[in-house]
Structure 1
Amino acid sequence: MRETARGWTAVWLVVLALAQTAAFLVVWRFGVHTQLGQWLDTVALTGNRIGQDRIDGPVDRILNAMSVVSLLAATAMIGFIALIRGRKALAVTATLLIAGANVSTQLLKRYLDRPDFGIDPERAAAGNSLPSGHTAVAASVAVALILVLPPKLRVAGAFLGAGYAAAAGVATLSAGWHRPSDAVAAYLVVGAWAAVAGLVLLFFQRERAVVSPADAHRIAAAVLGLGGVAALLVSAFALSWLVDRSTVAVDELGRRPLFIGYAGSAAGIAGTIAVVSALVLATVHRLVPRWKG
């Protein structure tokens, strides 16, 4: 019975890894290699100027808090939490999740190409910026935290981590550092790595591991996931409203479409990490179960 449950969990993790990889490819293909995708991203980036003076302070604080040093410190903290719980394999796996997600993000950003359709001439020279490195840092730490926290703290960790990662993704848009598709792609990279990390944890799971239904946090995961889906629907509605205006040059758009593009993209960013975090929260009790004795 236990082996059957582990087998189905493994299948679920493979499906998650493949689904999020496929979603990444769709986001990359549409956001980078189509004129409409580039236009929508540019509208959102241009719309970030609306009310920018009011949020510059918080945005700067969020982005400046993310550095190589802070990433190493967060990784060390996450490893320490796992170790004090007596979970050596978990400490190693969580560390590999963070490292893998961030290294692959940088490699993808470097080697993926971005055609110039003449839609965003101001940033054309910068080349490809997908996925967002800052967003990947925040999201990988947030997801790893869900894995290492004890069951009683997982829900709080999931909501706080998702909120922090969402704020980081929106901050990169608000600061003009990244396009919306960059942040969404970063979350999907982290989500795929989380599924791979889950497979590793499942492989090294001890015989005395006991999956407790009380640790499933189904309601919290559902609330987080449905909230994410709702945000994605808002984003889809906002961006679909913009599609009818895609023949208009971005610099000729009025305040309303620019704001809708920015707000709709921000909703899509927040919705994506909420869904990714919910999937991790819904599965973690099977990956890091209690031990007998």
Structure 2
Amino acid sequence: MLHAMRGWPFGLVLWLLLLGAAEAYGFKQVWHFFVQTEHGQLLDYVALTGNSIGRARVETIVDRVLNGISILSLTVATVVVGFIALIRRRVALAVGAILLIAGANVTTQVLKALITRPDLGIDPERAGVGNSLPSGHTTIAASVAVAFVLVLPAKARATGGLVAAVFAALAGVATLSAGWHRPSDAVSALLVVAGWAAAASLFIVVVQRRHGGVEYGPPSTFATGFLTLVSLGLLAGAAIALYLTDQDLDVAVDDLSRSRLFAAYAGGALGIAGTAGLVVASVLFTVHRVVPRVVPPLVDDDEDGDFGGPRPVPAGDLPTVSHAIADPIAEQETVRLSAQELSTERVIHPPDDPTVKLPG
């Protein structure tokens, strides 16, 4: 057992556990503030009301994005994700990626059914709709995007991560622009996906580590750093917009200026985009270790009674096979001796040939 534990990435496992716990805590805080409190509901309401400004300019793009997100597209994307992992001969990766997509979407639907939104008199027009947190469309888009980051080959991972972040952000912002969801709905959906990404990564690490040592590929340092900085900048902009909106909460929404409404709406969009970027960046940060470049095959080894220690065959334990090469014409066999014995070759002829070629 001690041999099986040797070389385990305890730092990576601890990081994934802490990351998952932080994302669960973040979800709880978003739910509590924006659903359970009057202050949070009002901030969400102002941002959602501001989506009417400039809607005509983005309506076509928004409709295309949202119409492309469906159960059918989710199914097709899941099959493609699994196929990519399997053609790379990574069964654990295929299972983990599918687990991420399925777990995130089921969790979102369960939470949406269990969470109740109290009617605090903030948004009477939508009070009858009930709870809308987390966003199902955002969960579908983000879970597929993150799963693709996991299964893509290392050479395509950085570019794929940037595309995944843009797609997840675009889907989340589209739900706000269409008036389907509040900003907190999309942000909480992204946190659900992030939590399942950490869980799926942990699963992949544990399963692959049964093989023993693995070979890691290069990290996506530039893409991760770039995405992190951009996301933090977006979240800083969202915080400023949130602060400005908070200063006018004592004013009736109908009396707010267009600039204030747009600032609230833009702040919500920036918050969604920034969260999406950080979620993908957190996956890029560890994916080169979660999905290593080389995973050796399992080999049973019970010599030392180590029942938990299947490990790869060392290079020195591989069997050596030698072949005797015969001359099809003269049926002569060539024997190469060591330098200590002879520095030339001795050619041994068949018994019926009395001639022997001696060295020197």
* Range into which the TM-score falls when normalised by the shorter chain: over 0.9
Contact 1:231 1:270 in 2 (8 A): yes
What amino acid maps onto 1:66 in structure 2? I
CA distance in 2, matches of 1:157, 1:224: 12
- Partner secondary structure for residue 196 of structure 1: helix
What amino acid maps onto 2:186 in structure 1? A
Match of 1:228 among 219, 226, 231: 231
Asked whether 1:195 is paired with 2:220, we answer no
Asked whether 1:108 is paired with 2:111, we answer yes
Contact 1:75 1:98 in 2 (8 A): yes
Match of 2:251 in 1: 248
Match of 1:29 among 16, 28, 32: 32
Q: CA offset at residue 252 of structure 1?
A: 2.0
Contact 1:39 1:250 in 2 (8 A): no
Asked whether 1:15 is paired with 2:56, we answer no
Q: Map 1:125-204 to 2 at 5 A.
A: 125-204=128-207
More deviation in 249-258 or 235-244?
249-258
CA distance in 2, matches of 1:292, 1:136: 31
Structure 1 stretches of 4+ with a deviation exceeding 4 A read 1-5
What amino acid maps onto 2:31 in structure 1? W
CA distance in 1, matches of 2:6, 2:272: 37
Distance 1:227 1:203, change over 3 A: same
Contact 1:208 1:291 in 2 (8 A): no
Contact 2:146 2:283 in 1 (8 A): yes
CA distance in 2, matches of 1:132, 1:249: 27
Match of 1:67 in 2: 70
CA distance in 2, matches of 1:91, 1:4: 24
Match of 1:211 among 209, 216, 237: 216
User: What is the CA deviation profile of residues 80-112 of structure 1, one whole-angstrom value per residue up to 9, with x for unaligned ones?
Assistant: 000010001111110011000000001101110
Q: CA offset at residue 27 of structure 1?
A: 0.6
User: What is the CA deviation profile of residues 148-178 of structure 1, one whole-angstrom value per residue up to 9, with x for unaligned ones?
Assistant: 0000001111110110110000000000000
What amino acid maps onto 1:137 in structure 2? I
Q: CA offset at residue 218 of structure 1?
A: 1.6
Distance 1:235 1:208, change over 3 A: same
Q: CA offset at residue 3 of structure 1?
A: 4.4
Q: CA offset at residue 250 of structure 1?
A: 1.6
Distance 1:150 1:38, change over 3 A: same
CA distance in 2, matches of 1:250, 1:41: 12
CA distance in 2, matches of 1:211, 1:53: 48
User: What is the CA deviation profile of residues 3-33 of structure 1, one whole-angstrom value per residue up to 9, with x for unaligned ones?
Assistant: 4561110000000000000000011111111
TM-score relative to the length of structure 2: 0.79
CA distance in 2, matches of 1:16, 1:5: 18
Asked whether 1:50 is paired with 2:66, we answer no
Contact 2:235 2:270 in 1 (8 A): yes
User: What is the CA deviation profile of residues 119-152 of structure 1, one whole-angstrom value per residue up to 9, with x for unaligned ones?
Assistant: 1111110011000000000000011011000000
Aligned residue pairs: how many? 291
Structure 1: 5+ residue stretches without partners: none
CA distance in 2, matches of 1:209, 1:70: 34
Q: CA offset at residue 247 of structure 1?
A: 1.2
User: What is the CA deviation profile of residues 226-262 of structure 1, one whole-angstrom value per residue up to 9, with x for unaligned ones?
Assistant: 1111101110011111111111222221101100000
Match of 2:122 among 99, 111, 119: 119
Contact 2:23 2:194 in 1 (8 A): yes
Contact 2:161 2:223 in 1 (8 A): no
Over the aligned positions, Cα root-mean-square deviation in angstroms equals: 1.3
More relative contact order, 1 or 2 (CA 8 Å, 6+ apart)? 1
CA distance in 2, matches of 1:163, 1:220: 13
- Partner secondary structure for residue 209 of structure 1: coil
CA distance in 2, matches of 1:291, 1:193: 24
Structure 2: 5+ residue stretches without partners: 297-360
Contact 2:7 2:213 in 1 (8 A): no
What amino acid maps onto 1:287 in structure 2? V
What amino acid maps onto 2:270 in structure 1? A
Q: Which has the higher helix share?
A: 1
TM-score relative to the length of structure 1: 0.97
- Partner secondary structure for residue 48 of structure 1: helix
Contact 1:44 1:262 in 2 (8 A): yes
